[in-house]
Structure 1
Amino acid sequence: MPRSFSGHRFRTARRAAGLSVHDVAARVGRTCWSLYAYERGTAQPPIPVADALADAVGQPLVALLADDSKAAAA
């Protein structure tokens, strides 16, 4: 089952954790612009970065992944 990082799920988790883009960017060593691109879906983070983003918002990585097969079927 193909899966990719979900910017929408990440943004939702970040907000639920009470963190700003600046907070998460500082924790994972990325720029705010990179995080905005991940949230908008215009860029996909490398796996180690995606894992760090999940840790930063207190979620398992799998919670931030979208099922691409469902999107392709629609």
Structure 2
Amino acid sequence: MPRTFNGPRFRDQRRLAGLSVEDIAARIGRSPFSVWGYERGAAVPPIPVADALADAIGLPLERLLVDDLKAA
């Protein structure tokens, strides 16, 4: 089953890690605006970026994915 990056889940985990959008952006080499877009679901990060986002908060990428049927 296809899976999709879950932006709100990432945002929640980022906050639990005590990191700001700016912290994440600096760690992955993207703009804060891009990170904010991923969190809101306005943009879907490419796989390498999604993996970098997960690494930045210390989680496996699998924890930030959701089955497409559950995302709707």
Same fold by TM-score, threshold 0.5 exceeded?
yes
Spell out structure 1 runs of 4+ moving beyond 2 A: none
| Distance (Å, rounded) in 1 between the aligned partners of 2:71 and 2:50 | 20
| Distance (Å, rounded) in 2 between the aligned partners of 1:31 and 1:7 | 16
Unaligned runs of 5+ in 1: none
Amino acid at match of 2:37: A
| Distance (Å, rounded) in 2 between the aligned partners of 1:14 and 1:51 | 14
TM-score (norm: length of structure 1): 0.92
Q: Tell me what 2:43 maps to.
A: 43
Unaligned runs of 5+ in 2: none
RMSD of aligned Cα (Å): 0.9
Deviation at 1:16, TM superposition (A): 0.6
Q: Tell me what 2:52 maps to.
A: 52
Secondary structure, aligned partner of 2:66: strand
Answer with 1 or 2: which has the greater Rg: 1
Percent same amino acid at aligned positions? 68
TM-score (norm: length of structure 2): 0.95
